[in-house]
Chain A
């Protein structure tokens, strides 16, 4: 039987190769435009169309236009990549229809990259060659092999023109193996795309002489295996935002065409599935995943292998697997990016999971707010069916499995697994008491496993590269990487994937570039409405499931919102609570009533009516709701309040006792006055005041009638002379 599987896989792989060779894209100039909800919101659709017209008008047959998912560099979208044979790929940021013309005429046709439009405009000229040195924990930290420091000198000694070579200290390539750990350094040579494993200076010297000077790669030192991040580093390795990341879950996002099964196969797609089906041993899959220390990426962090083992052990043989793609946490968008950018990766993870637990049917539960993700997953399912990867007798293995999509309808509580199950059953998404856990009695009473999108997309990588490799990437108790959605008051917003155990400081400042406008960082909010706010002084906390809960936050699904000095923490707590209160399904009293009462207290505090007892009442209520609520929504709803009360108590006190909002955010506690000395009497404030409470004569100082002022702040915004004081 196993022979059949490999033969079927090889046949499909050969077909993919044939189709891709026919397209012969490698010898052409490729223009690649991001295509995802976020990219399109920034105008990627128009950009794509414009390139299409220009290519058509040029009559050139050696230029191809491609679509990829998004790479997660939100603040610079739309991103366009131009890849010419034998040249280093060039990426352009914030491309508009006008910029398309310059890129096309100067670069695509003329061969001269438009440096001023390039992503992160870090380069004045595109170098002929780039050397990327792994800077991972195990590779690059050994002082005896500081190749990046040695290289310039060695290149000069060898007579290589240093101006044509750029040396980049990249993130972890994810190539570490136990026997070599700490003993070698990996180096990628672009654009030849050759990856070396160097043990000492002698090896480095050989590469310089033979490859960089002589143009012949050193076969002895070259890595022949396919590596997980190589494609990614090949495309984006020169950009600081990306090369400090380790891309495993996002390995294909922004690289492959998300609607093309053949392209997915080019990067070892479905080879893990073939391996699993060839072995035909579900227990081996479960053991592999358990050994990888992969923990659920949806928030709770339950070990994935253990969850699968529980379902596989059940007496009932009708079983289901569900992909939870109801990404409801405000501020989290990594699941959307993976669904849109690497749908085949998620589907492959689902099929492997289905095989491991012995399921016959699988469901994608996707929120209706993600229309493009729904389309791409639907397309991936259809293509898989067409090629025998879903349905009866997959790859000739005798394993039958199929997938369906079920849509969410905008209920946050459906992220809770029992509520989600009810929703798939077509009922109100209300949770129920556990146990029994879904692995025992889930969808229609049958054993059911629910995994998050990011968890599933990691599965093929775990199978392909091995559990030890994955486990070593993370921390002691948790393997692999985590994707964070960095947003809010941070310079570079977007998706950041780093090994678990990376510190908050590395993420926010090292990759995110810190807070813009010279403002001070006040809080990092993780975990959405169930999470908490982490203050600046805890920036060196490594991110892991346990460490974050110790500081009063949670890992959650990976939303990370940065707040600066202009954000009022009481107001933020109120924001989250009003969310939880609104989303409370109403089934259990502590959550339904408790969140309402807490919200009332917070509204009182932010409107200047707070009393000192409010703080103790808040704490008491919070503890009660935590203990007595039915599901995770209620039990975690007080987290934003408890964490802000712990870390920002002075702000609460200022609101309650001094009736003052230190961040000047709470309208009721803010006063507006016109400084008569600065006011030139331009009348802009009076003209913009919605309640006409500002009066005066032109060229004379104006006055605000505080009794009628609604504190909308319009006058403060429109005054060009800084004459409106806010206190």
Chain B
């Protein structure tokens, strides 16, 4: 590298531009706001929530961009992203199915519902179906224990789910996706 022609090693502007390009407008606004906060790092988790909300997961490029713009070490961003269950580091399906395996759901047969989903979709927890339609996750209580067993598909909570209802439920979401595409 002795022939390197660039004497000016300050590439801050380039890096910043690249980082901005990797994120969306509303995320950039949130970062701007955070930078005005007395403790900018305190907004890291809410910014990562925004990134996941926009991209569906936390990609390496986005995490690096957040680290750069927020002036937080990239290792710290990765550390936070991997610590919390809610953050996904791989792209998820169109619909994320969260099967509640809290206590009430467990005693009311949540595990059997989970088995049926795994069987129907041919995937395990944390995996996405081949068509990219569904990602299967297990949740730790979504707080609707009175209606156990419950599952959450994106933000919709489905109550008192029985294993035999699973195929119809999946078909309904496949239809929904088809309609939305059309």
B43 touches A (CB below 8 Å): yes
A486 to B76, CA, bound (A): 40
- Are A561 and B80 touching (Cβ within 8 A)? no
User: Which chain A residues (397-415) contact chain B, with CB distance < 8 Å?
Assistant: 406-412
CB B143 to nearest CB in A, in angstroms, measures 4
Render A570-587 as a binary contact track against B, CB cut-off 8 A, 1 for contact. 001001100100010100
- Are B49 and A409 touching (Cβ within 8 A)? yes
CB B57 to nearest CB in A, in angstroms, measures 13
- Are B144 and A333 touching (Cβ within 8 A)? yes
- Are B146 and A426 touching (Cβ within 8 A)? no
Q: Which of B79, B80, B140, B148 has the most CB of A within 10 A?
A: B140
CB A553 to nearest CB in B, in angstroms, measures 13
Residues of B within 8 A of A409 (CB): 45, 48-49, 84-87
- Are B107 and A407 touching (Cβ within 8 A)? no
A417 touches B (CB below 8 Å): no
B99 touches A (CB below 8 Å): no
A430 to B103, CA, bound (A): 24
A585 to B119, CA, bound (A): 31
User: Which chain A residues (302-353) contact chain B, with CB distance < 8 Å?
Assistant: 327-333, 335-336
Residues of B within 8 A of A493 (CB): 104, 145-148
A426 to B83, CA, bound (A): 12
Render A551-580 as a binary contact track against B, CB cut-off 8 A, 1 for contact. 000000001010100010000100110010
Stretch at the interface among B20-28, B126-134, B152-160: B152-160
A506 touches B (CB below 8 Å): no
- Are B103 and A525 touching (Cβ within 8 A)? yes
Interchain pairs with CB closer than 8 A, number = 156
B46 touches A (CB below 8 Å): yes
A370 to B73, CA, bound (A): 30
- Are B41 and A426 touching (Cβ within 8 A)? yes
Q: How large is the interface on A (under 10, 10 to 19, 20 to 34, 35 or more residues)?
A: 35 or more
- Are A333 and B146 touching (Cβ within 8 A)? yes
Question: In the complex where A41-B150, A409-B84 touch, is A425 in contact with B42 (Cβ < 8 A)?
Answer: yes
B121 touches A (CB below 8 Å): no
A585 to B79, CA, bound (A): 12
User: Which chain A residues (168-209) contact chain B, with CB distance < 8 Å?
Assistant: none
For A427, the closest partner residue in chain B by CB is: B80
User: Which chain A residues (378-437) contact chain B, with CB distance < 8 Å?
Assistant: 406-412, 423-430
CB A108 to nearest CB in B, in angstroms, measures 26
User: Which chain A residues (35-51) contact chain B, with CB distance < 8 Å?
Assistant: 37-38, 40-42
A371 touches B (CB below 8 Å): yes
Q: Which of A335, A428, A567, A572 has the most CB of B within 10 A?
A: A428
Residues of B within 8 A of A660 (CB): none
A494 touches B (CB below 8 Å): yes
- Are A37 and B86 touching (Cβ within 8 A)? no
Question: In the complex where A411-B83, A429-B84, A487-B145 touch, is A424 in contact with B42 (Cβ < 8 A)?
Answer: yes
A563 to B148, CA, bound (A): 13
Partner of A406 from B45, B48, B102, B107 at Cβ < 8 Å: B45
Residues of A within 8 A of B44 (CB): 426-427
Partner of B39 from A77, A425, A488, A528 at Cβ < 8 Å: A425
CB A419 to nearest CB in B, in angstroms, measures 10
- Are B104 and A330 touching (Cβ within 8 A)? yes
For B48, the closest partner residue in chain A by CB is: A409
- Are A410 and B157 touching (Cβ within 8 A)? no
Residues of B within 8 A of A37 (CB): 142-144, 157
- Are B107 and A567 touching (Cβ within 8 A)? yes
- Are B142 and A406 touching (Cβ within 8 A)? no
A123 touches B (CB below 8 Å): no
- Are A489 and B41 touching (Cβ within 8 A)? no
Partner of B157 from A41, A411, A428, A429 at Cβ < 8 Å: A41
Residues of B within 8 A of A284 (CB): none
B173 touches A (CB below 8 Å): no
For A370, the closest partner residue in chain B by CB is: B143
CB A327 to nearest CB in B, in angstroms, measures 6
Render A51-76 as a binary contact track against B, CB cut-off 8 A, 1 for contact. 00000000000000000000010110
Question: In the complex where A410-B86, A493-B145 touch, is A41 in contact with B158 (Cβ < 8 A)?
Answer: yes
B141 touches A (CB below 8 Å): yes
A330 to B139, CA, bound (A): 10
CB A428 to nearest CB in B, in angstroms, measures 4
For A579, the closest partner residue in chain B by CB is: B140
Partner of A371 from B39, B147, B155, B159 at Cβ < 8 Å: B155
- Are B145 and A331 touching (Cβ within 8 A)? yes
User: Which chain B residues (41-93) contact chain A, with CB distance < 8 Å?
Assistant: 41-46, 48-49, 72, 76, 79-80, 83-87
- Are B103 and A488 touching (Cβ within 8 A)? yes
CB A289 to nearest CB in B, in angstroms, measures 27
CB B88 to nearest CB in A, in angstroms, measures 11
Residues of A within 8 A of B48 (CB): 409
A115 to B146, CA, bound (A): 24
Partner of A426 from B80, B85, B143, B155 at Cβ < 8 Å: B80
Residues of B within 8 A of A444 (CB): 39, 42
A20 touches B (CB below 8 Å): no
Partner of A42 from B46, B87, B159 at Cβ < 8 Å: B159
Kindly list 14 other residue pairs between chains A and B, CB separation below 8 angstroms, not including A407-B49, A429-B83: A37-B157, A38-B144, A38-B157, A41-B156, A77-B147, A332-B143, A333-B146, A369-B141, A426-B39, A426-B43, A426-B45, A488-B108, A493-B148, A561-B104
List A residues at the B interface (Cβ < 8 Å): 37-38, 40-42, 72, 74-75, 77, 327-333, 335-336, 368-371, 406-412, 423-430, 444, 485-489, 493-494, 525, 528, 559, 561, 563, 567, 572, 575-576, 579, 583, 585, 690
- Residue contacts A-B, CB under 8 angstroms, 20 given: A37-B144, A37-B157, A38-B144, A41-B150, A368-B86, A369-B139, A369-B143, A371-B155, A407-B45, A411-B85, A428-B83, A485-B146, A487-B146, A488-B108, A488-B145, A493-B146, A559-B145, A563-B107, A567-B107, A579-B140
Closest 9 pairs between A and B when the two form their complex, measured CB to CB: A74-B146, A330-B102, A409-B84, A426-B44, A410-B85, A410-B86, A493-B146, A41-B157, A330-B141
